[in-house]
Structure 1
């Protein structure tokens, strides 16, 4: 199976590990342990997961030269993604999800990435990120929302799907703010006012690359979580922007969101990308996991999640740490 799709420019091969970053014996063993855990060597044979799924974030491919000053290697993302898909295809996964920013700078960069994702033997779910809306050729530097939704094959930018006793809720956290709105429109002005208010409050996330969800999407989200609980399902959110802990890349109304979500006992996890260094926090019984961004550094980052009754094991590869997310009953 050939994963070496070529962009308009030359795609460099991923550099040897010793040319990318120092790797300690512990780090080298981490990858081996990760693979062994996925294969089942480190698990009790009587405790097989309910299901597994693949996690990716911020592939952010563009046919552009690297920007070492911010540690982003755009063209390398195709090789990294190919490596991740190859690993995913070694396992029986219920689905693979990419948590936003699949491309950067323009939708013209999307075809080679989608070609790679089509090689996945598991269905691929898409979350939209702020960079997915950027355009070098579109008016005001953004692509029309309808064009973005169509390019990603999305009938609507937020949606739900159920897997083995879980409901996954995909959000569009670019809805409110200035990310996807044309400048000087009413929607853009409302987003600008929100950013100005947050800046006056000296909130670290008062940045134009952050967004949140509007009232209609919020109502839909709450209805979906309540319905999941009514039917005995657990719920997980798949979004682009983080909510917890505090960070400059967080959802614009992160404080409101994380105070509201514990009111829904069915909700167990919020998965997201956007903050490329990754991270984890727990608040009010909800796990908040930020996946490392694949575009960041010359090293790779992705994960496989193993879902059990009482926990989710995050099996990290390369830069992505391995973690255990405890699930309260």
Structure 2
């Protein structure tokens, strides 16, 4: 299938656009710049391994890599950073260091003088209850548009660039008790498919069934409808759109065991609005991946900083007149995306 970053050398070129042309575009000052990073998963702990003990995790080094990324963005003078979830590791709660570790990570962004937009992953919900997160620095920022008591939001980064951020754990068993409004829906979703003693085990599950694990989650019907409305509104205003969420929604951009439970519903909405959609950016799958869906939307799964063995995986995006160029660091490739609405073509 070839969707993992180690096989991505061909994506250093956009089709018909070699790197020397990208360099020529880059010589023109961008209208807006932002950073992207996923799965820092910092913990003040010795190195460990993932659940299957196949990949080593470098808990303390991840903070150093984040610091290096922030220094790069500071030099670039980015306007904002998109933090794609799992900013600290679940080990922090076990060791009773959740608040301390979160603050250490957030402190790294303070020198940027740029907005940082967060989405929640499973590890945020291992450390904190949803109601605590809603009152934290990881909640939607002032200036964002979002329904009351919801963690999904949108914000206009540039007059012709809108960011839409999803809450991929709105329907979930993580960080909530059985009084939560979507608790029964999450329970029934898992119980209908996953018959294992532990719902974090994919044993016996095949194909796309492997996504029905407790460490994944879903978007409510209300959120999917809100996404549709946001994209329609962006289209009416000739705004290009970037959608972010912790969980991938395209099978060929990630392992099936890391997909959003109702990825098909979200993918359908993104496809309906291909006239304004640029890309969907996510984390969670530490290998990273990339593909385009049938509508031509780009799906970029950023590899996890926590398991980085080949440099420091993060991206820096430049918004130009006709393209959005994501410059990759580490094993993140360069990706050039044509704007649906070139800068300057906004309605009067």
TM range (shorter): 0.7 to 0.9
- Gaps in structure 2 of 5+ consecutive residues: 1-8, 13-18, 141-149, 196-204, 342-348
Residues 47-66 of structure 1 correspond to what in structure 2 (within 5 A)? 47-66=28-47
Q: 2:329 corresponds to which residue?
A: 317
Q: Distance in 1 between matches of 2:137 and 2:226?
A: 21
Aligned to 2:113: 121
Distance 1:287 1:45, change over 3 A: closer
Shift of 1:249: 0.2
CA displacement at 1:224 relative to structure 2: 1.1
Equivalent position of 2:199 in the other structure: none
Matches for 1:48-197 after TM superposition, within 5 Å: 48-68=29-49, 69=53, 70-105=55-90, 106=93, 107-108=98-99, 109-135=101-127, 143-154=128-139, 156-164=150-158, 165-182=160-177, 187-197=182-192
The CA deviation at 1:96 is 0.8
1:7-18 paired onto structure 2 within 5 Å: none
Check if 1:294 corresponds to 2:275.
no
Offset of 1:286 from its aligned partner? 1.3
Partner of 2:219: 213
Q: Which residue of structure 2 lines up, in the alignment, with residue 266 of structure 1?
A: 276
Alignment CA distance shift 1:145-1:309 (3 Å):
same
Q: Say if 1:179 and 1:210, in contact at 8 Å, map to a contact too.
A: no
> Please, what TM-score do these two structures have when normalized by structure 2?
0.75
Deviation of 1:41 after TM superposition, in Å, equals 9.3
Q: Per-residue CA shift, 1:116-158, capped at 9, x if unaligned?
A: 11122321111111110113xxxxxxx3211122222525411
For these two proteins, the number of residue pairs brought into alignment is: 286
- 1: distance between equivalents of 2:89 and 2:191? 26
CA separation of 1:61/1:196 partners in 2, compared to 1, >3 Å: closer, same or farther?
Answer: same
Structure 1 distance, partners of 2:285, 2:239, is 29
